[in-house]
Amino acid sequence: MYTIKQLADLAGVTIRTLHHYDEIGLLKPSSVGSNGYRYYGEDALYRLQQILFYRELRVPLDQIRCIVDSPDFDVLSALGSHRSALQAEANRIKRLIRTIDDTARHLRGKGSMSHKQLFKAFTDEEQEMMAEEAAQRWDSNTVRQSNARWKQHPPEKKQRILDEGSSVYTDLIAAMAEAPSSPRVQAMIARWHAHMQHFWSPNDEQLLGLADLYNDDPRFHANFEAMKPGLAPFMREAIRQYVKNRE
């Protein structure tokens, strides 16, 4: 049996986190001593490990509770699912790193990349990740319904949509010498907004949120910086101007 401090140290979480998990019914102590101390046994350790795996996969706490409390929840099956999901994430990150390295070599004149190759890491999996992030922040039902429609597209249509997105970003990069408020850049942001409709239909407030997300979230920022250094802040200013023009 572990005290709450011992478990916090063992799992690398804070005591406050364990208190919160107890309060919301996600992880109850195995027993409570007469002194009021919480004690956690082996079953609690396995449950906490599952919680932390689901958190790594960005599953909200209320959904985690529903999953692990389900009568048919099986730890071994869950571990297999975690491994598959994390392997897919590892493969996605490897693709992004490879594209960053290839782009750096290209910019140094030590390799050659076509415009299409600049975006080869941004597959439909990447689009799903972006849509899922948007869903968690803003409008989950709308985003997930749109994402479901995306999955129903045949591969050739998905590729056309992804190629269209690549073209939008390529043209934006080519126009970065101009001001974000220039007519040319604003027309491209309008194209970008139209292209977003394939995945979801953000309102003006959500567009501004996306602009901040591209800059403030390390994953998104790295993706845009891999395409072109300075693209994320350039798009933020351009999107802000675009929304202002729509008022």
Mean pLDDT of the chain: 81
Q: Which residues contact 45 (CB under 8 A, 6 or more apart)?
A: 2, 7, 10, 11
Q: What are phi and psi of 39, to 5 degrees?
A: -125, 140
Domain 113-246 in CATH 3.30.70.270: no
Q: Residue ranges per domain, the chain?
A: 2-69, 113-246
Contact of 27 with 47, CB cutoff 8 Å? yes
Domain 2-69 in CATH 1.10.1660.10: yes
Q: Alpha-carbon distance 247 to 244, whole Å?
A: 5
pTM for the model: 0.49
Q: Alpha-carbon distance 142 to 128, whole Å?
A: 13
Q: What is the pLDDT of residues 121-176, one digit of tens each?
A: 565 555 556 656 665 565 556 666 666 666 777 878 877 877 787 788 888 888 89
Find which of 16-25, 60-69, 132-141, 162-171 is predicted with most confidence, using mean pLDDT.
16-25
Average pLDDT over residues 52-79: 83
Q: Give whole-number Cα distances, 55 to 48, 60, 63, 82, 243, in Å.
A: 10, 7, 10, 11, 34
Average pLDDT over residues 174-199: 88
* Closest by CA position to 1, among listed 29, 36, 23, 35: 29
**pLDDT at 206 > cutoff 80:** yes
